[in-house]
Chain A
Amino acid sequence: MLFNSLGFALFFPVVFFLYWFVAKNNLKAQNAILLFSSYFFYACWDYRFLFLLVFSTFLDYFTGIKIHEAATRTSKRVWLLISVIVNLGFLGFFKYYNFFVESFAEVMNSVGFKPDIWTLHIILPVGISFYTFHGMSYVFDIYNDRVVPRKNFVNYSVFVSYFPLLVAGPIERATHLLPQVESPRHFDYPKAVDGMRQLLWGFFKKIVIADNCATYVNTIFDNYADQPASALVMGALFFAFQIYGDFSGYSDIALGTSRLLGIELLRNFAYPYFSRDIAEFWRRWHISLSSWFRDYLYIPLGGSKGGVWRSIRNTFIIFLVSGFWHGANWTFIAWGALNAIYFLPLMLLKKNRSNLDIVAQGRIFPSMKEIIGMATTFALTVFAWIFFRAETVSDAISYVRRIFSPTLLTVPEVISTETIPLVICLGLFMTVEWLQRNKKHGLQIDGVFPSRLVRWNFYIMLTFLIYYVGNFGHHAFIYFQF
């Protein structure tokens, strides 16, 4: 069930009604409804993998209790290892088995051996990367005494399988979400109204920006060898907007939906394309994953303690693992490596924490230095996205090579008058994001439009804009495949 589908448009009002009108303020009933609807939501994708979700939930629930009860550090560590090995074992099997087998075969072929490889037709369970990381964060937090294990299995299951975040995050933390699941929830008018706005903005990003860009991106990347350089540049730029609109749109819909149910989820995006350097970009892009890797991998590896070289090593590990987390393809690893390389100068110059504030704070226009910083960061990011989007690393290299050709100044054939509405919407999108960059989301407009009439007109216009300019081809969210 996609957020941008008729199924979800029917599913959510039913859940909303049961949650607020049948369960009323009864916490147990609310959580039971959330759990049942989450399992139903997941079963709509593929009911066969529901057992995997339940098993993963039970594993971390059980090992969490065992870690807490263990008398010695060694036995705590054993239970932690069991949890990590089983979790990563499932993730590794479903997501990476064929990749490892094929890569092994390629290496053997290159040295003259021809092994019989045994690949499997494995279907990737939707959301496995996300709920596995949810569960692991819980176990890590118990091991580090940040969280006490929960006895109530229903509450814990809601934490792992809560439907707004189940298939593509944000990757929640027990310290943030579990207390909310365990506390009585009452309908909060301002939160619900803002949730609706965030939902609307998320749909705009997904249906208008991402899915329209996708049409051009797919045409250009699928036939890149026949395209002029100008079209290749356009394809890379449009992909940057596609993936941002797609993933941050998804996150806005998830956060907005959850706020309608009275639960705040972690923020996942904070206007990343206005970053002045790559370190700032990664503090603003897929925040829940970046902070997960920071807390559970970078810091345990020593973080920035122990000198510059250790810090660089750890940064490379984080980015390579992050790339690999996205999928079993060398393109993602190349993308991660590129980002790590972008980080190097900042680390060597110790400038990786120099842009912690909001760009052009208190001003409408940025300074020249800020413009240069943002443009450079954006260009570097777009370049790395080519590797992320390409089918293979050699395709990506070939794509980049073709950009540097005399056809760079020609008008791409893929552009027509039908591109104009999309370009206008992209302009509108980035303008709104820029003006709202100190807000939690683009449509947090209480202070901007004090008049209710103006606000309502704005919502209605945006709804019609989505309807008339949006692409309703039912494109799945990009991050569902991860």
Chain B
Amino acid sequence: MKKFLKELAMIFAVILLLVIVINYSFGKNYYNHYELQYKEIVYPKKKIDGIILGTSHGTHGIRPDVLDSLGFGFYNFSMNGGNPEFYWNWYTNIFAPCHPKPAYCIWATDWFLFDTVWVWRQYEQDSEYFPDSTFYANVKSGNYNTRSLVLNRIPFTKYKSIKDLPNLFRKYDESQFLISKYKDGFLPYWPKKIEQFRNRYVNKLKDIYKISPWQQHYFEMLVRRMMSDGIKVILINTPEYASKDEEYKKIITYNYLESFAKKNDIPFLNYNLRNRGPINDDKNMFTDWGHLDDEGSKQFSEILRRDLDSVINLTR
């Protein structure tokens, strides 16, 4: 028995040692754009007057450095799959307690903003980047999924799929996101795959997207909370390729956003309907149907800067 237990303990010790090495390597060397976005909140390098929230369409479509010429400092905190519930938790637990309040929030909404299949991000999945105090407070509160908070906090358990393994030997993965071009929360999305997405997108648009009242509730709550914190909220959405009026006018989410914006006196710049322009029909500006590419993001950010200029002047 002694021999058996001794050998078992030795094997477990080797496994544990390897786990520690892997954990250290992932934790210290490897990073992605989410980590940089969270770092900016806790250790700000830039004076931020305006924050940008949204999904991946926002992350890869809006360049804060272009908007900065308005005379304000912007930072893009849009995150892939970011839904209203996620942002409510992000704002109340991380942003508001750790960062000075900005003057403006540009929320890059989408027609699938309230569909939790499309916008899948869970607050707990980012626990790796939370400040220690926030993490322990979240665990203690019992309001969040403790298992998910803990597993996502530890790099070894977070990066557990085989496709994560090459990241042991590199600083970042650029197969989808060009982290080397990261600037104030923005980074380009590539490679281009616009053709293959078109049909799928149209089908989904017509039939599949759902509206979760739960997400709508969080959306309204967060907008009102930011307004009560003195932040001026501006709703926009980023251009999608070949968006057609007859299709997009039917979208319930847009009707809801329009009436919500009107009711709360919030500007809403819809770049797929009222504010749509030639960029929407230029295939060369897109990585896929909904994500602007490097060049598209530059051109769109210029358009947005121009439109925001008049909106901000109106609200100033």
Binding site for B on A (CB under 8 A): 20, 187, 189, 192-193, 196, 418, 421, 456, 459-460, 463-464, 467-469, 472
Contact = CB atoms under 8 A, between A and B. Distances in A.
Nearest to B22: A464
Given A418-B163, A467-B160, A460 B4 contact: no
A207 to B, nearest CB: 12
B15 interface: yes
Contact of A460 (B18, B162, B163, B164): B18
Contacts of B4: 187, 189, 192-193
Interface hub of B7, B11, B15, B162 (most chain A Cβ within 10 A):
B162
B314 interface: no
B11 A460 contact: yes
Contact of B162 (A196, A456, A469, A472): A469
8 contacts: A189-B4, A421-B162, A456-B11, A459-B11, A464-B18, A468-B160, A468-B165, A469-B162
A472 B158 CA distance: 13
Given A421-B162, A468-B165, A469-B162, A463 B3 contact: no
Nearest to B7: A193
Given A187-B4, A468-B160, 12 more contacts: A189-B1, A192-B4, A196-B8, A456-B11, A456-B14, A459-B11, A460-B11, A463-B15, A464-B15, A468-B161, A468-B164, A468-B165
Contacts of A421: 162
- Closest 3 interchain pairs by CB? A187-B1, A468-B162, A421-B162
A112 to B, nearest CB: 41
Contacts of B161: 468
Interface in B155-213: 160-165
A469 B4 CA distance: 28
A6 to B, nearest CB: 9
A361 B8 CA distance: 34
Contacts of A187: 1, 4
Nearest to A472: B160
A193 B1 CA distance: 10
A459 B12 CA distance: 11
Interface of B: 1, 3-4, 7-8, 11, 14-15, 18, 160-165
Contacts of A456: 11, 14
Contacts of B165: 468
Contacts of A468: 160-162, 164-165
A339 B273 CA distance: 62
Nearest to B14: A460
Nearest to A21: B1
A178 B58 CA distance: 67
A466 to B, nearest CB: 11
A460 B15 contact: yes
Contacts of A467: 160
Contacts of A460: 11, 14-15, 18
A131 B220 CA distance: 56
A467 B18 CA distance: 13
Nearest to B147: A6
B200 to A, nearest CB: 11
Contacts of A20: 1
Contacts of B14: 456, 460
Contacts of A192: 4
A456 B18 CA distance: 14
A445 B3 CA distance: 19
Contacts of B163: 418
A456 B15 CA distance: 11
Contacts of B162: 421, 468-469
A418 B161 CA distance: 10
A459 B14 CA distance: 11
Nearest to A470: B160
A467 B11 CA distance: 16
A189 B3 contact: yes
Nearest to A189: B4
Nearest to A20: B1
Contacts of B11: 456, 459-460
Contacts of A193: 4, 7
A178 to B, nearest CB: 25
Contacts of A463: 15
B15 to A, nearest CB: 6
Nearest to B161: A468
Contacts of B18: 460, 464
A468 B168 CA distance: 13
A28 to B, nearest CB: 20
Contacts of B1: 20, 187, 189
A127 to B, nearest CB: 27
A441 B254 CA distance: 60
Nearest to A6: B147
Contacts of A459: 11
B11 to A, nearest CB: 6
A345 to B, nearest CB: 44
B81 to A, nearest CB: 18
A468 to B, nearest CB: 5
A17 to B, nearest CB: 10
Contacts of B8: 196
Contacts of B7: 193
